[in-house]
Amino acid sequence: SREWHLLSRPVGWPKPEDFALVETPVPAPSEGEVLVRNEYLSVDPYMRGRMSAAKSYAAPFELGEAMQGGAIGEVIASNAEGIAVGDHLLHFLGWREYAVLDARNAVKVNPEVAPLSTYLGVLGMTGLTAYAGLLRTASFKEGDIVFVSGAAGAVGSQVGQIAKLKGAARVIGSAGSDEKVKLLVEEYGFDAAFNYKSGPVSEQLREAAPDGIDVYFDNVGGDHLEAAIGSLNQGGRIAVCGMISIYNNTEPAPGPRNLARLIQTRGRIEGFLVGDHYDLQSQFVQEVGPWVASGRLKYRETIVEGIENNLEAFLGVLRGDNTGKMIVKL
């Protein structure tokens, strides 16, 4: 079985030398454990944080050991009650071909209900992130004008569409290519979108949102956050989901220069972690599942094949190679 190890902690952009694809024997499952052959691996921006030693909400990856991440696999041997060979499990031992795990750390998923990869994306962690961040952290309500960055990504594309489906007055998105911008407007039904690489974000946002914004869902940080504060309406809310523009920085990034605008607008900025919102999981699946099944909520996935391309797929997420959820298929 092959698995990806972290060899050294990247400084700035991760380099191939920081990692190795290592061959290891496949262990047999002990009592209560299952052996899974992974089929879909998730690569996510937060993994960059786990490659650093800095204390964060998820423990750093250990050097010289297999990295971890969301994965879906088929059970090929089971010593656990209630789990049979052929079952599919969502678990946390990605970055490898085979995994032995305690069955209590896995959730059964059904390929007849939805395609397996969707349990990592639109119906999985990134979907719940969009749902909880928009509805709970940003206190979205009907009639709001919503701006989301990283809007063609896994979380962002779902934020914009959920806002539309729930009665937003206007939804604006930003993304890093003209092709992505076109997708937002033509396929996902955003009212306006812009390419943040083709001009200052603050100007493009003012143009796209002439009546300001009530909600900003931040996936990016940096210029985007400052621009959003600049366009924030009275009582506006900013949910800080991620700040991908600074994950590879070697120096702390400067903060927004216009924070004082929060005083006059009575604006609120609040960070959140999806892990704190799993109480919304069943409500999320009940509400969003049918939208996905009926095609009212659309999603894309960028699928990269092969364990040998797992690292490139991860780097691709940081570069913006993906449209929608980036997934590695084995």
Which residue lies nearer to ligand NDP by CB, 117 or 322?
322
What type of residue sits at position 178?
D
Give the integer Cα–Cα distance in Å for 269 and 267.
Answer: 7
Helix (H) or strand (E) holding 194: strand 192-195
Q: Which residues bind ligand NDP (CB under 6 A)?
A: 44-46, 126, 129, 150, 152-156, 175-177, 180, 219-220, 241-242, 244-245, 272-274, 317-318, 320, 322
| Beta pairing partners, 172 | 147, 192
327 contacts 117 by C-beta, under 8 angstroms: yes
Which residue lies nearer to ligand NDP by CB, 180 or 237?
180
190 contacts 196 by C-beta, under 8 angstroms: no
Which residue lies nearer to ligand NDP by CB, 69 or 176?
176
Least distance CB 226 / ligand NDP (angstroms): 13
Which residue lies nearer to ligand NDP by CB, 211 or 279?
279
- Collapsing DSSP to helix, strand or coil, 54 comes out as coil
Max alpha carbon distance in the chain (Å)? 62
Least distance CB 222 / ligand NDP (angstroms): 7
Least distance CB 213 / ligand NDP (angstroms): 17
Which residue lies nearer to ligand NDP by CB, 115 or 320?
320
What type of residue sits at position 35?
L
Least distance CB 28 / ligand NDP (angstroms): 34
Least distance CB 244 / ligand NDP (angstroms): 4
237 φ, ψ (degrees, to nearest 5): -130, 135
Q: Which two tokens stand for residue 243?
A: 């700040």
Give the integer Cα–Cα distance in Å for 328 and 330.
Answer: 7
